[in-house]
Amino acid sequence: AQSVTQPDIHITVSEGASLELRCNYSYGATPYLFWYVQSPGQGLQLLLKYFSGDTLVQGIKGFEAEFKRSQSSFNLRKPSVHWSDAAEYFCAVGISSGSARQLTFGSGTQLTVLP
Amino acid sequence: DAGVTQSPTHLIKTRGQQVTLRCSPISGHKSVSWYQQVLGQGPQFIFQYYEKEERGRGNFPDRFSARQFPNYSSELNVNALLLGDSALYLCASSFTGYNEQFFGPGTRLTVL
């Protein structure tokens, strides 16, 4: 069965430091991969997506992610974190189930940014 | 352009009651999906609708039902509420369901 693992429940970084959030997936076919961000009490905002092609994808707010098929990973990176990046981050894989395309999410990584 | 809208924002119900949540997709989007997000977890897929037809259903009991209207808006109904139904219910829209999904702000349901 398909699954998404985010091994880090909580990460703390200082403002201006680099960031990498890990995501591993289990899915038999070619995955469609996404990163979403959720601020407290809010819905999910799409940061970036990978469907095919270049394995390094750029997203909004200065985020990027790299798809590595050999490692079944899709890690999210940012070179310099801003205080406003504090939020919860979810990795998701888009799978086909019958005629539906549903998202399977990881359990999330909570990011704290220190001043 | 307006994003995905959901109503109500918050809702408090008691066990055994029934609830209806509403969602309006982004203009031009024909697919709506519903997700349940329990505190501290990632969202879980409940339903997907496209052109008023149910395309898929997650592992949820029959107490959960949904429908999509000709204007592509959608309702999620939950009958015989249990304490465990307390969660943030998220609606997502996309052009066809096979593209990226854009989420609304959610409806926070509390069951007492």
Contact B77, B71 (CB under 8 A): no
Q: What is the mean pLDDT of residues A28-37?
A: 88
Q: Which residue has the higher pLDDT, A101 or A48?
A: A48
Q: What is the mean pLDDT of residues A101-109?
A: 93
Is the bond preceding B8 in cis, omega lying within 30 degrees of 0? yes
Q: State the sign of the Cα–Cα–Cα–Cα dihedral B92, A51, A49, A102.
A: positive
CB < 8 Å to A97, chain B: 56
Given a cut of 80, whether residue B44 has pLDDT beyond it is yes
CB < 8 Å to A42, chain B: 105-106
Quote the pLDDT of residue B73: 97
CA distance B58 to chain A (A): 9
Distance CA B110, CA B17 (A): 12
- pLDDT tens by residue, B94-107: 988 777 899 999 99
CB < 8 Å to A102, chain B: 33, 45, 48, 56, 58
Q: What is the mean pLDDT of residues A100-104?
A: 87
Which DSSP symbol is given to B97? S
Quote the pLDDT of residue B1: 62
pLDDT-based confidence at A101, cuts 50/70/90?
A: confident
pLDDT-based confidence at A10, cuts 50/70/90?
A: very high
Contact A66, A54 (CB under 8 A): no
Which DSSP symbol is given to A30? P
Quote the pLDDT of residue A19: 97
Percent of chain B scoring above 90 in pLDDT:
90
CA distance B66 to chain A (A): 15
Is B98 an 8 Å CB contact of chain A? Answer: yes
Contact residues for B107 (Cβ-Cβ < 8 A; gap 6+): B6, B7, B8, B9, B10, B11, B21, B88, B89
Quote the pLDDT of residue A59: 97
* Burial of B93 per CB tally in 10 Å (0-12, 13-18, 19+): buried
Quote the pLDDT of residue A87: 97
Quote the pLDDT of residue A63: 98
B33: which 2 tokens? 């999906």
B48: closest chain A residue by CA: A100
Angle at B84 between CA B38 and CA B8, to 5 degrees: 65
- pLDDT tens by residue, B53-83: 999 999 999 999 999 999 999 999 999 999 9
Quote the pLDDT of residue A48: 95
Cβ distance B106 to A46 less than 8 Å, yes or no, reads: no
Quote the pLDDT of residue B86: 98
Cβ distance A102 to B98 less than 8 Å, yes or no, reads: no
Average pLDDT in chain B: 94
Contact residues for A9 (Cβ-Cβ < 8 A; gap 6+): A107, A108, A109, A110
Residue that is written with structure tokens 């469609």 in the block: A32
Given a cut of 90, whether residue A65 has pLDDT beyond it is yes
pLDDT-based confidence at A27, cuts 50/70/90?
A: confident
